[in-house]
Amino acid sequence: MFVTMTSRGANRADRRFIGHVGVGRRQARLAVCIATPMQVLEADGGRARCRDRHGVEAIIDLSLVGPVAGGEWLLTFLGSARERIDAQRAQSIDRALSALEAALNGDVGAIDEAFSDLVGREPPLPELLREPS
């Protein structure tokens, strides 16, 4: 299977190839949309001009988050801000996306570093699945 992951903003020019995996001769194309952090450059009413980790700028709709100021970070999906985030969370998400991009291109070495908070531990069970004490 051939998997293409793209990050899409408000503009067609903002679509970027993230990576792919090919198996055998048969190939199918699958687009996956992922929310990405973007930093606000300037805002005007319900829209903001933002820049992502690749330096690509896009106009982002602010209907779900309200007014923002330059320098703030937003988690964006399909041209809309979904959530306000801090710079530390934006950096963490960017590291994870970089590791995913590298893994899709055959380099799995970056996975442990990007997801260091998950390496060497078992995820906790949700409370409803835990044995009563």
DSSP 122: P
Taking only the tens place, the pLDDT of each residue in 65-108 is 999 999 999 999 999 999 999 999 999 899 888 888 888 888 87
Q: What percent of the chain has pLDDT over 70?
A: 76
Is 13 within the bounds of a domain? no
What CATH number is attached to the domain comprising 68? 2.30.30.140
Structure tokens belonging to residue 107: 């380099």
- Distance of alpha carbon 25 from alpha carbon 46, whole angstroms: 47
- Structurally, the chain folds into a number of domains equal to 1
Taking the C-alpha atoms of residue 59 and residue 29, their distance in angstroms, rounded to an integer, is: 27
Question: Residue 47 class from Cβ within 10 Å (0-12 exposed, 13-18 middle, 19+ buried)?
Answer: middle
Measured CA to CA in angstroms, residue 130 lies from 118, 124, 125, 127, 133 at distances of: 20, 9, 6, 5, 9
pTM for the full model? 0.64
For residue 79, tell me if it sits in a domain. Answer: yes
Residue 59's domain comprises 35-119
Residue 67 is assigned to a structural domain of this protein: yes
